[in-house]
Structure 1
């Protein structure tokens, strides 16, 4: 599950710079019952309401040669590799948000799932990352993979 690439960090930097233009209030982008993005001066909140519709809308996964690989049962080592890749990129994104003193909140169906960035005091293993609801995060990842 390789979603993130180097372009993501490039676009996130511009999003963070755009955030600096907001001095008061917030900007909300609502895509029906799919997604709500709320941008405040120091906080970015994404509330995903329906991942299946979001996948269709943005066509997140564009498998070509690897489509058969993802249909088959993945080995434990592949899953661990995917998790390491995800956490590594999440750590880089958290560092970017901390650098600009911003916070990112991911919600799934209205409930906080993940908070990264400046306002977060991470646990023992994750610096600037707080997994608020592990079960919802797992459900979200499983729904993304299906």
Structure 2
């Protein structure tokens, strides 16, 4: 079966934007592959250039023909599962809201409440808290320059 895709001007623009700006690499690759199919490049050449199997290119064209952009973006199931459970993140949020603590103290309290060690690095917990709107400041161990100038004068 021939693998040919006819694209309108609006579809070309949409696929170009997807191939450049989408957050998932696999969807960017699919959009670039469909643009190449629209330029009448052979599927095997597209597969070699994009580093995918030839069957993938055929699957993309069928998905595009059946469902358009939704078919193209619907297949993304990639990514690593989250290291922290929702319960651990919720506990960390409660602890962080209760009183001002360092990230290490928050991690210790979460471990104590759940009676198990964190399944990830402490930085991952910090990123999860940042996504929820918390910010962390580094403790200062040195005096500010303006304070030392006033005292020495």
User: TM-score, structure 2 length as denominator?
Assistant: 0.21
Based on CA coordinates, which of the two structures has the bigger radius of gyration?
A: 2
Greater fraction of residues in strand: 1
- Larger RCO: 1 or 2 (CA < 8 Å, sep 6+): 1
